[in-house]
Every structure is written in structure tokens, then in C-alpha cells.
Amino acid sequence: MVDGKGKQDAVSAHDAGGKLAEGIMHIWRTQKSLVVLLFVIVILAFLSEHFFTVYNLINVARQTSIYAILAAGMTLVLTVGEIDLSVGSNAGFCGVIAAYLLKRSISLPLVILIVLGVGLFIGMINGVLTAKIGVPFFVATLATMSALTGASFLITGGYPISMLPRAWRVFGQGYMWGIPVPVILMIATFIVLQFIQGRTTFGRRIYAVGSNPRAAYLCGINTDRIRVAAYSLCGFLAALGGIVMSSRMDAGDPSAGSTFLMTLVAAPILGGTKLSGGEGTVFGTLIGALVLTIMNNGMSLMNLNIYWQDLARGLIVLGVAIPQIERRLRR
């Protein structure tokens, strides 16, 4: 911003200096994960000759895509100050529904529409349960998580529905302009969500509700509706993730997604989203998700036991979360 008026020149010069410092501080405060990401990449590039290959990097991006799409939705719910525990099982359920419908020879576009609608509807149920009825989010989404997992197993009889039509594979296994389709979907998701968060009234209101729900209400915001919308969008993205997941595995697996929760919370936290609500960006979440996959990838390349990955993830989340708590106390 430049102030043209003469008498304000001194002010704006001071402003500019302040803004630069503020900008640097802002990057460090909000983009710590980006710094961590670069750090991890540099380390891994030294440790493994396989890391910096096009093949591996594309692989990393593809591995990230499902987590990242789901974590983007989770970020919205975290930003209003709540957690949706059911995202993973919602994705799994949507994958099962997709497989079930495909097996009954329903046309592919219709399947996509139905599945996205189902995901959205499940998200909306979570939102209505918490915002309108007042069930604590932990209880409500824990319940839907369990119910959805149960429903997935009932529909499939416990076995994955496999041998899906070839055309379905495009979402998880296809390429466009040499880039894996899931990666394109992931990038598209993040562009749209970042725009919603940063530029629209809805995005602004999500932050307001998460930052101070009572003040938001006193600003005339329908806080219930914002919460329901955040959960619904999260459910929609769970469905998108579920579609990619079933396509990638070429099956509707009832147990898919059930182990995602830790990653889906870890990625936003790493990316600067606060569990207390009101702060965080989906861009940060994308970086957070990349950090997590790259670390897993690096550990795989170095032939480390897979259980190290869980241990490392837990430690990383604590390492990011604890300094946040300290800052809160000092305030």
C-alpha cells in the first residue's frame, strides 16, 4: 500500500518498514511448516540418492493427494474450533458406496454425483448434530465415525468390493499432461479452498466463528449455519478423497480410511492451524501433508521399520503443539 499524500509520507515510510518486519514475522509464524519442509527435503536429498528422482517426487505427490484432500476439509472444521473425527471413515464409506453402485452398472458421472452428495450429507449431519442440536463435536463425530465404519462393513460383508470398471481407475491411477490425476485434483481442491478461505465472506466468517463465536453472533453472523457449512464442505471433500482412494485401490474397501485420523489432524497442525480455532490456512495444511508424506517416504527409502513412522508422526505433532500452548499462556 502506498500513500500518495505528502503529509503522510513519513507515516507510510514507517509503515513500510514495519510491514516488512511484520511480513517476515508473519511468514515465520504461519509458515513454519514450509521451513520444516525445506529442511526435511534437504536432509533426505543428502541421505538417499533415490529421493530427488522425478519418479519418487511424483510418487510423493500422489501419496500425499488423498491425505491432503481430506485434511483440507478437516482444516475448515478445525478453523471453526471443532474436530471432525469421522472424515476418514466417511471417505471409506464413500469409496464403498461408489464401488457398490459401479457394480450395479450405474453410469460413472451419476456415481460421482451420488457419492459426492452422500459425503456432503454426512458432513451436514455432523454439522446439524453439533451446531443445531448441541451434541459436543467429539461425541457426535465419534458416533458417526463408528456408524459409518459399521455401515461400510455391512454393505460389503467385510470384503472389499473389487474388479471395478476400468474407467473408474482414472481418478486414482490416471495421468493428465504427465501429472497424476489425484495430484491435479489435490491442487484444484487447494486453489478453490484457499480462495474460499481468503477471499469470500464465508471464509471470513469461518475464522470469525472460530476466533470468538459470541462476538461473531453479535456481528449478525448465523454461527450455526457457518458451522454446518464447514462440516458439509468437509464431508464433500471426504467423498472426493473416497473416490480417489477407491479408484487407486481399484476397490471399495470398508477398512480404508480408518487409520487416517492422526495424519488428518497432524497435517493441519503442522501447517499452522490452531486446535482452538480461528487460525490456519489450507495452504499450510498442504505443506503439512507434504512434510508427513516426505518423511514417511524418506524413512521407507532408508529401509526403516514402518512403525517408526507412527512414532515420528506422534513426536512431530507434540513438537508443534507444545510451543503453541506456551505462547497461549504467555499471552
Partner 1 sequence: MNDNGPTLLKVENLTKSFPGVIALNNVTFNLLKGEIHALVGENGAGKSTFIKIIGGVLQPDKGTILYDGNILSHLDPRRARSIGINIIHQESELAPTLSAAENIYMGREPTKECKWYVDIERMNEDAQEWLDKVGADFSSKVLVRDLTISQRRLLEIARAISMDTGLLILDEPTTAFTDQEVQRLFQIIRGLRNLGVTILYISHRLQEIFSIADRVTVFRDGHLISTKHIKETQEDELIRLMVGRELRAVVRDRSKPIKNTNSELVSVSKLTKEGAFNDVTFSVNKGEILGLTGLLGSGAGKIGQALFGLVEQDSGTISLNGVQVNLTSPAKAMYHEIAYIPADRKLDGLFMIKSITENISLASLEQLTKATVIDLQNERTEAKKYQTLLDIRAPSINQIVMNLSGGNQQKVLFARWLMKQAKVLILEEPTAGIDVGAKQEIYDLMSGLAQKGNSIILISSDLPEVLNVCDRIIVFRDGRIVYEIPGDEATQEIILHHSTGLCNPERKEERQ
Residues forming the site for partner 1 (CB under 8 A): 1, 14-15, 18-19, 22, 199-202, 204-205, 207-208, 211-212, 214-222, 278-279, 331
Nearer to partner 1, 203 or 254 (CB): 203
| Shortest Å distance, C-beta 218 to partner 1 | 5
| Shortest Å distance, C-beta 127 to partner 1 | 19
Q: Where are the alpha helices (DSSP H) in 48-86?
A: 54-79
Query: Which residue's entry shows cell 451446531?
Result: 131
Angle at 195 between CA 201 and CA 221, to 5 degrees: 15
Nearer to partner 1, 132 or 199 (CB): 199
What DSSP designation does 278 have?
S
Rg (alpha carbons) of the chain, rounded to whole number: 21
d(CA 62, CA 245): 11
Nearer to partner 1, 5 or 104 (CB): 5
User: CA dihedral defined by 230, 231, 237, 241, rounded to 10 degrees?
Assistant: 150
Q: How many residues does the chain have?
A: 331
Nearer to partner 1, 17 or 165 (CB): 17
Nearer to partner 1, 173 or 222 (CB): 222
| Shortest Å distance, C-beta 216 to partner 1 | 8
Residues 6+ apart with CB under 8 A from 309: 295, 296, 299
3-state secondary structure of 180: strand
| Shortest Å distance, C-beta 220 to partner 1 | 4
Nearest Cα to 127, choosing from 80, 63, 88? 80
Q: What's CA 212's distance to the chain center, in Å?
A: 23
Nearer to partner 1, 45 or 219 (CB): 219
Residues 6+ apart with CB under 8 A from 126: 84, 86, 137, 140, 141, 144, 231, 234, 235
Nearer to partner 1, 215 or 311 (CB): 215
| Shortest Å distance, C-beta 227 to partner 1 | 15
